Amino acid sequence: MVGFENKAVLKLLLVYLFIQFSVTCGNFFQPFNVTYDHRALIIDGKRRMLISGGIHYPRATPQMWPDLIAKSKEGGADAIESYTFWNGHEPVKGQYNFEGRFDLVKFVKLVGDSGLYFLLRIGPYVCAEWNFGGFPVWLRDIPGIEFRTDNEPFKREMQRFVTKIVDLMREEKLFSWQGGPIILLQIENEYGNMEGSYGQKGKEYVKWAANMALGLGAGVPWVMCKQTDAPDDIIDTCNNYYCDGYKPNSPNKPTIWTEDWDGWYTTWGGRLPHRPVEDLAFAVARFFQRGGSLMNYYMYFGGTNFGRTSGGPFYITSYDYDAPIDEYGLRSEPKWGHLKDLHAAIKLCERALVAADSPQYMKLGPKQEAHVYWENAHSTGLNTNLSESQSTCSAFLANIDEHNTATVTFRGKSYSLPPWSVSILPDCSNVAFNTAKVGAQTAMKVVEYASSPKISAPELVMTKNEASSITESWMSVKEPIGIWSENNFTVQGMMEHLKVTKDESDYLWHMTRIYVSDDDIAFWEENQVSPTLVIDSMRDVLRVFINGKLIGSITGHWVKVVQPIQFQQGYNDLILLSQTVGLQNYGAFLEKDGAGFRGQTKLTGFKNGDIDLSKASWIYQVGLKGEFQKIFTVEENEKAGWTELKLDSTPSTFTWYKAYFDSPDGSEPVALDLGSMGKGQAWVNGHHIGRYWNLTAPKDGCPNSCNYRGAYGSNKCMTNCGKPTQTWYHVPRSWLQESNNLLVIFEETGGNPFEISVKLRESRILCAQVSESHYPPLDQWLNPDVIDGKVSINDIRPQIRLQCEDGHIISSIEFASYGTPHGSCQNFSEGNCHSPNSLSVVSKACEGRNSCSVEVSNSGLGGDPCRGVLKTLAVEARCVSSSTIGVSQF
């Protein structure tokens, strides 16, 4: 009996110990330490070269996170990076929110689950084109507060929030030494750009922030980005389009690139930025070539500024960023695929890269250079699959000439380097990858209602389909102009916008009454003048109403208002509706910035002189009636007194619309096409999908073709000139039910809701073009026969690889030609040389499959169609949802 009891106790003890062990070990990794030296982060005792993908968790839904993380991992990321968003996590002082899209713990755990590391940039100022740079607007109300400087009230609040996040991560065992994925933290954000504005206090603040962060005992290194005076124990890091020249401020710190801007954001009425992948790959390769060790794509997935989270002035709802994963979670090709190849090439060099303390530099020509990394006696013992002989030397050969191809000689061999490109030689002999030679597939996306016949436009298109309008049955209700509730107040003088709204709404109504005498009217008629409203300065949008009628709209960022007005004799209601369109997220003294009006507000042109409205008595009303009644929610929408909207009704301003719609079938991401509307906000089943605004980009400024060569800037390869900046608005699938989805829209300027449609976003067409002289697939370097030396990497032929999105298969090969095909995607044609087998070989390999590869060689394509000619295989394939095809086709 005693023995049995002892056994049971022992068993319990073992279970207890096991639980303790697994808890202390965390769920993701064996606990490991992170330190660093001048060369790299040292993870569990080993230097590492790391690729990271920026994903801001609230810019997607938790349902999207696993797929985004998986696609990042498949694309070659070792880590995921995100800011934290203070105003999302603490919308009301002391009331925290870590739910839904703000479930940071869940996001970090998903990253850990997938075996990736996590870089957490706490800020808490984050910039990020996020409303108010992440600061809660209530922070402004703390007496005596000055942001981001040596100011006690600010420091107290900042410390409280940063501590909260660090403690939360520790409690959840998410730091590396707890077996969690977090290997690096960031305090502040690009404060170096602002420090000068704060004088000595700025310097003190940097020291304080560093000490405060270090004092939290997080146990992993901290960085400060763009902070040349970062103190000793904090790594200063680079944010830019290129960071290959970057040197941290101490020889003991590694070179880290926290923001590699792979695209850019845009404003309402702006063009769409585009950074060509050849240049991006060049920048990344140059970074690792010249001694960089950790690079993070800002953004790897940009996502969506749902709700009113976009920053300003005037940032659009989409935060696509031209990132490798698009706003909807689909791969953006060839960006994703070309970078995947690049990452694989860099990984093949990792052993040599981490072994060498610094590269050996070799000048190869006037604008050509090599950096060679040798594994020497001080090897860190990094375990890769490469054999000793292959791993001992890796080299990067760069041609920074923007115009000319260069032929260089390196270690006795000749290499041809396209302009503005880097070749990566994992074994110092064979080229695995060149940044300017894209072998990856291109994907043409469509945004359309349902499967439709052939797509003709070469770019991302929306096929207009009248039958696709969401519904013929709309209801509407007018928003009252001006004061709509008891909850208004009267003040002598102009109040600063944010002081009144606390950013609970974009809208602030101001109303005053103006008396106009017969004399005034006579004066205006005689002199042929009209009175004018003049405001010294205003942001972001002002709408002027006289006696309930909209008479003028002004848009701008601290612009002067000069608005002629026609008054009636007697009392006139002058209503000013001031609106924000995303609070300022960048700059010094953000707490003083505010919104609405600045300076004097007056009426000029009266007989007895100007009327100073800055001292007038104004009635204030925050927000819209519909907003505060929450008529966009399923529960409250009936409150509004909706009436049926007639098909022929004229566009109406300040109007709410509602309709119900069914979800489109399938799993493709869903977008609402709001191209027929003016400006406003939209909700689906109570979820705020964001602001919309139908502003058109300037006609000029988009090049016919984009030349990747030469230094990139956000104006360089713009697209979408002359078109509305944004017409599609992402509605995450998880916000939809099968039928009866409630769509509520608040429209300010007038639009036609009958033309609103629900669309699907799909990667419909894939193209690829690879020549016989292209490099072997990167994964072949890890082929055991290559590693063992049984097969030379040189003997492996290149391949074309096609991959539809998950749940999709290649339904048909629309074009295939092995020979000398002409043209580009959706425009291919056969050249003089064409193998008649092309289509059958490619179709056989690809049709019915999610992904396929075809060897680009005579043997792969059933013979040589033209001897002595360098041949290319060009393919265009069509992807369809596998559910529409049926299982029988597999």
Kindly tell me which of 421 and 584 has the beta carbon lying closer to ligand GAL.
584
CB of 553 to ligand GAL, least distance (A): 28
Concatenate the DSSP letters of all residues of 137-188 into one string: GGGGGSTT--TTSS-HHHHHHHHHHHHHHHHHHHHTT-BGGGT-SEEEEEES
Neighbours of 51 (CB within 10 A): 24
What amino acid occupies position 445?
K
Concatenate the DSSP letters of all residues of 582-604 into one string: S-B-SSS-HHHH--EEEEEEEEE
> Closest Cα to residue 729, out of 693, 685, 695?
693
- The answer to whether the CB of 49 falls within 8 A of the CB of 293 is yes
**Separation between Cα atoms, residue 109 and residue 91, nearest integer Å:** 23
* 309 lines the binding site for ligand GAL (CB under 6 A): no
> Closest Cα to residue 266, out of 345, 195, 206, 320?
320
11: left (phi over 0), alpha (psi -120 to 50) or beta: alpha
Neighbours of 67 (CB within 10 A): 16
Contacts of 276 (CB under 8 A, 6+ apart): 706, 708, 712, 717
* 265 lines the binding site for ligand GAL (CB under 6 A): yes
CB of 127 to ligand GAL, least distance (A): 3
Kindly tell me which of 187 and 813 has the beta carbon lying closer to ligand GAL.
187
- Read off the DSSP letter of residue 857: S
- The answer to whether the CB of 742 falls within 8 A of the CB of 684 is yes
CB of 503 to ligand GAL, least distance (A): 19
Q: Which of 157, 195, 244, 259 binds ligand GAL (CB under 6 A)?
A: 259
CB of 460 to ligand GAL, least distance (A): 21
Kindly tell me which of 239 and 769 has the beta carbon lying closer to ligand GAL.
239
- The answer to whether the CB of 264 falls within 8 A of the CB of 322 is yes
Kindly tell me which of 259 and 320 has the beta carbon lying closer to ligand GAL.
259
> Closest Cα to residue 470, out of 677, 723, 305?
677
Catalytic residue among 81, 90, 172, 259: 259
Kindly tell me which of 82 and 239 has the beta carbon lying closer to ligand GAL.
239
Kindly tell me which of 120 and 126 has the beta carbon lying closer to ligand GAL.
126
Residue nearest to ligand GAL (CB): 127
- Read off the DSSP letter of residue 880: E
CB of 69 to ligand GAL, least distance (A): 21
Residue 768 pairs in a beta bridge with: 875
Q: Which residue has the tokens 């393919």?
A: 875
> Closest Cα to residue 87, out of 498, 548, 394?
498
Kindly tell me which of 54 and 732 has the beta carbon lying closer to ligand GAL.
54
- For the chain, give the longest Cα–Cα distance: 115
Neighbours of 792 (CB within 10 A): 10
Q: How many helices (H) and strands (E) does the chain have?
A: 17, 41
CB of 733 to ligand GAL, least distance (A): 27
**Separation between Cα atoms, residue 229 and residue 51, nearest integer Å:** 25
* 293 lines the binding site for ligand GAL (CB under 6 A): no
**Separation between Cα atoms, residue 49 and residue 702, nearest integer Å:** 37
x-or-dash string of contact with ligand GAL, 178-197, rule CB under 6 A: -----------xx-------
- The answer to whether the CB of 53 falls within 8 A of the CB of 72 is yes
CB of 241 to ligand GAL, least distance (A): 11
Q: How many whole angstroms from its chain centre is CA 39?
A: 29
CB of 15 to ligand GAL, least distance (A): 47
Kindly tell me which of 206 and 745 has the beta carbon lying closer to ligand GAL.
206
**Separation between Cα atoms, residue 518 and residue 564, nearest integer Å:** 19
Peptide bond into 313 cis (omega under 30): yes
Q: Which residues of 456-485 are buried (b: 16+ CB within 10 A; e: fewer)?
A: eeeebebbeeeebbbeeebbbbebebbbbe
- The answer to whether the CB of 260 falls within 8 A of the CB of 221 is no
CB of 133 to ligand GAL, least distance (A): 8
- The answer to whether the CB of 396 falls within 8 A of the CB of 422 is yes
CB of 56 to ligand GAL, least distance (A): 10
Kindly tell me which of 239 and 368 has the beta carbon lying closer to ligand GAL.
239
**Separation between Cα atoms, residue 234 and residue 223, nearest integer Å:** 5
Strand intervals (E) in 752-885:
757-771, 799-803, 808-819, 851-855, 872-881
Kindly tell me which of 190 and 375 has the beta carbon lying closer to ligand GAL.
190
x-or-dash string of contact with ligand GAL, 206-245, rule CB under 6 A: ---------------------------------x------
CB of 585 to ligand GAL, least distance (A): 7
CB of 259 to ligand GAL, least distance (A): 6
**Separation between Cα atoms, residue 99 and residue 97, nearest integer Å:** 6
Kindly tell me which of 265 and 754 has the beta carbon lying closer to ligand GAL.
265
Kindly tell me which of 205 and 298 has the beta carbon lying closer to ligand GAL.
298
Active-site residue flag, 259:
yes
Binders of ligand GAL among 76-135, rule CB under 6 A?
Answer: 126-129
- The answer to whether the CB of 549 falls within 8 A of the CB of 90 is no
> Closest Cα to residue 316, out of 755, 750, 762, 724?
724
Residue 117 pairs in a beta bridge with: 79
Active-site residue flag, 762:
no
- Angle in degrees, 0-180, between the axes of helices 65-74 and 104-113, rounded to the nearest 10: 40
Kindly tell me which of 239 and 441 has the beta carbon lying closer to ligand GAL.
239
> Closest Cα to residue 169, out of 89, 238, 78, 91?
89
Catalytic residue among 190, 278, 479, 668: 190
CB of 712 to ligand GAL, least distance (A): 14
- Give the active site residues: 190, 259
Residues that bind ligand GAL (CB under 6 A): 126-129, 189-190, 239, 259, 265
